Amino acid sequence: MVSRRLVVSSSVIATALSCYTLGVMQSRRGDAAMRAVYDAKLDSIRDEVRAQSDRKPRTSAVATAGTSGRADGTASAAARARMVAEIKEQLQTEMGLLPVNLLRDRRSSFVELYSYDTLGKTNYGTAGYLGNGYFITVKHAVVALRDEDERATTRRITSVKIMYRGKEIPAKVIDTGDADVEVHSGDWAIIRTRELDLPPLHVDSAFAYEFADPIFRLGNDYSKGIILSTGYVGQRTANGLVTCLTDGHPGVSGGGVLDQRGNLVGIPIGRMQGDYRFSFILPIRPEMLRKLPAYEQPEPQHVLAAADVQQ
């Protein structure tokens, strides 16, 4: 009995050892196969990287062989710059914008205006510089007109001054329109000081004032300095004025109305009673410049642009 049990036990052990040995050998063969596949993939990647490295010097050499490539790059950059400039100009036109640097430049062409009357009162407004010491403003800022009740006034303006670099400079009335009341097509005036170091405005008396044209107003709001306001052209009135919605605060009368090219195209002269936003503009007319000696009227920018297009 003992011998038979020993033989059976030995057989079972031998069989188990044989199975284990076969399993280990099979596992090693599988590992070897997987390692071979991995090594093959790794060798393939190395070959591809090596091939790419071998090609780079040749590509670089071709790219730097001549100057034509640089010329093409410069041309492309110039074309892109032109395209960007055209897009910016179109956006500014469509959205009714004006470059900030141009607005800042035009601001220095306007000054605060103050007049003093026989009643001891000080009145304030705005004036735009035309060069050679000449300014354009509104008549009611420098000449006492009729009162609102249509009666003649006993008030007289005794002196007119403008602010220049923090000091008052005396001014003389040179010419005026035919207005005898405010908010009138003849409510304009030309005054003169000594020649000042200010940039003169470009005047465009041919501006069409089409409905919804964007405009920019600069004026001495509430005697607090020159301030910017924007708006759009409304309608023409029966007495030759133009309506718009832009701030018409006290003091802006005589200031400037600019178009999108920065040209002076009008002056704000008044507002609707009780509504500071409903303003009236007096378009610039050639007769307003009749007393300016040797005044060289700049050719309107829109005419220059049309000539460039034709060329």
Instruction: Dump pLDDT digits (tens) for 249-279.
Output: 899 999 999 999 999 999 999 988 777 788 9
Query: According to the model, what pLDDT value does residue 272 have?
Result: 85
Exposed/middle/buried for residue 116 (C-beta within 10 Å: 0-12, 13-18, 19+): middle
Query: According to the model, what pLDDT value does residue 78 have?
Result: 81
pLDDT band at 219 (very low <50, low <70, confident <90, very high): very high
28 phi/psi in degrees, rounded to 5 = -65, -40
- Quick one: tokens of 40? 């093959």
Query: According to the model, what pLDDT value does residue 67 have?
Result: 42
The more confidently predicted of residues 39 and 209 is: 209
Exposed/middle/buried for residue 198 (C-beta within 10 Å: 0-12, 13-18, 19+): buried
pLDDT band at 308 (very low <50, low <70, confident <90, very high): very low
Residue 167 DSSP one-character state: E
pLDDT band at 213 (very low <50, low <70, confident <90, very high): very high
Strand partners, 176: 189
User: Given a cut of 50, is residue 4 above it in pLDDT?
Assistant: yes
Query: According to the model, what pLDDT value does residue 19 have?
Result: 65
Mean pLDDT of the chain: 81
- Termini Cα distance of the chain: 124
Query: According to the model, what pLDDT value does residue 127 have?
Result: 98
Query: According to the model, what pLDDT value does residue 53 have?
Result: 60
Query: According to the model, what pLDDT value does residue 101 have?
Result: 86
* CA proximity to 219, closest of 235, 211, 204, 230: 230
| 3-state SS assignment for residue 242 | strand
Query: According to the model, what pLDDT value does residue 125 have?
Result: 97
Exposed/middle/buried for residue 180 (C-beta within 10 Å: 0-12, 13-18, 19+): middle
Where are the domains positioned within the chain? 102-310
Query: According to the model, what pLDDT value does residue 68 have?
Result: 43
CATH code for the structural domain at 102-310: 2.40.10.120
pLDDT band at 65 (very low <50, low <70, confident <90, very high): very low
pLDDT, average across residues 17-25: 66
Instruction: Dump pLDDT digits (tens) for 114-169.
Output: 999 999 999 999 999 999 999 999 999 999 998 766 566 788 999 999 999 999 99
